[in-house]
Amino acid sequence: MKSTKKLKPIAAIVGAGRTKFGELWYKNPEELLTEAGIKAMESVDYGLRRKDIQACYFGSFLYQVTNKLALLPGYMARELGMNIPMSNTEAACGSGGSALYNACHGIRAGVYDVVLVGGFEKMTDRSEKILDDLMFAGDSHEFDAGYTFAGLYASMMARYIHDYGDADGGVKCREALAFVTCKNHHHAIGNKYAQFRRDFTVDDVLNSPLVADPIRMLHCSPVSDGAVALVVVSPEVARKYTDTPIYVVGSQQATDDVSISSRESLTGIKATRLATEQVLKRTNMTMRDIQIAEVHDCFTIEETFFLEDSGFCKKGEGWKIIHDSYESFKGSKSKHIPYVNGDKEMVVNPGGGLKADGHPVGATGVRQVYECFKQLRTEAGENQVDKEGLNVALSHNIGGTGGIATVHILMKE
């Protein structure tokens, strides 16, 4: 079992709070963020005074467009009754992970000891226009050509099935890509905050309405509202707030061309590969050490890419690993379905992922870390992963179709 003793933690998480995800029409975005922030502060075991917080790092993508507001620090200063430095990071669907990455820098640099990190988005108020709005995170030529995000990922998924799928028209590969949905919806059943808490079968997925061939409705993450917050502190002060801090031992980010047509490959995400390589190197780990991973599954092909980009399995073999899990799951009653590759075993998206927990884009990266935090502290309730010696988790958050990727590794002492 890995231990934090040989690693120098970057930061520690001592509190976490979130709203439910879904259509939350009755609250403004700043109220959602405040609700999550207050829950995070109140969850700190030995108490946290508002005046302890020295700065806030928020992540959000679209609030100027979806809710016609700007100058988030001004809104949050009013809501939280604070006058401290506050910043907002925009990195599309990767905004939340980027906000935490920036907060870790503030702590690592010694500027702050206690900060609040929050991610939020309110998308359903613009449901008519939201698919166009999301294309701010695509290349303008992609938008002009009529692409949506589902369309962009459909190009990647079609290429993947063509290049790596089975000879039989990719039938098994398509089953595997549908099974990602079934697994993540199954994982969300015990998650009281999730947008969807029901099972789907592979047939349900493959017969759901076509969105952009080969992507069907049930391959997609939904349009969601929600907010999540974390109290992040320096490792030196962590014990003042709790006996069970969860340490951030790795925090890395990488970027790539915004446009899929200019990338080196359509069947993988270079930014994920680089960020994961660096974070594993920094922590002296391999994918064998990762026990749970909250992975960016905006479309099911993206979870498959992660298995390959991270080195959990070889290029082109992700769908086979998923298909084996599918076969072994049939008839099983297990709450979580791990991916297994030789001596590597990892539960991916124990909270349901973007697919079932929901995807309020700016909140997602923070929600992933929230889930890892709860799992490592054995506080995930009905949804707790049943694994002896659980102490290493990874979160993977990307923006757009892979223009940015941020990866964190979290550990219990």
Per CB under 6 A, does 221 bind ligand COA? yes
Q: Please identify every residue annotated as catalytic.
A: 93, 359
The 3-state DSSP class for residue 215 equals strand
Tell me which stretch binds ligand COA (CB under 6 A): 67-75, 105-113, 213-221, 283-291. Answer: 213-221
Neighbours of 5 (CB within 10 A): 6
Residue length, the chain? 413
The 3-state DSSP class for residue 247 equals strand
**Total number of residues that touch ligand COA (CB under 6 A):** 15
Closer by beta carbon to ligand COA, 58 or else 196: 196
Site for ligand COA in 222-241 (CB under 6 A): 222-223
Rounded Cα distance between 367 and 97, Å, is 9
Per CB under 6 A, does 220 bind ligand COA? yes
Contact with ligand COA (CB under 6 A): which of 254, 298, 321, 385?
298
Per CB under 6 A, does 409 bind ligand COA? no
Closest CA to 99 of 363, 371, 275: 363
Per CB under 6 A, does 14 bind ligand COA? no
Q: Which burial class, exposed, middle or buried, applies to 141 when counting CB atoms under 10 A from its CB (0-12, 13-18, 19+)?
A: exposed
Encoded one letter per residue, x for contact with ligand COA by CB under 6 A and - for no contact, window 353-372 reads ------x-------------
Tell me which stretch binds ligand COA (CB under 6 A): 218-226, 227-235, 254-262, 345-353. Answer: 218-226
How many helices (H) and strands (E) in the chain?
15, 13
Q: How far is the CB of 254 from ligand COA (least distance, A)?
A: 18
Per CB under 6 A, does 149 bind ligand COA? yes
**What residues contact residue 226 under an 8 Å CB cut-off, 6+ apart?**
18, 19, 20, 21, 22, 24, 32, 120, 121, 358, 360, 363, 367
Rounded Cα distance between 16 and 38, Å, is 9
Per CB under 6 A, does 205 bind ligand COA? no
Residues near ligand COA (CB under 6 A): 93, 131, 134, 149-150, 196, 211, 217-218, 220-223, 298, 359
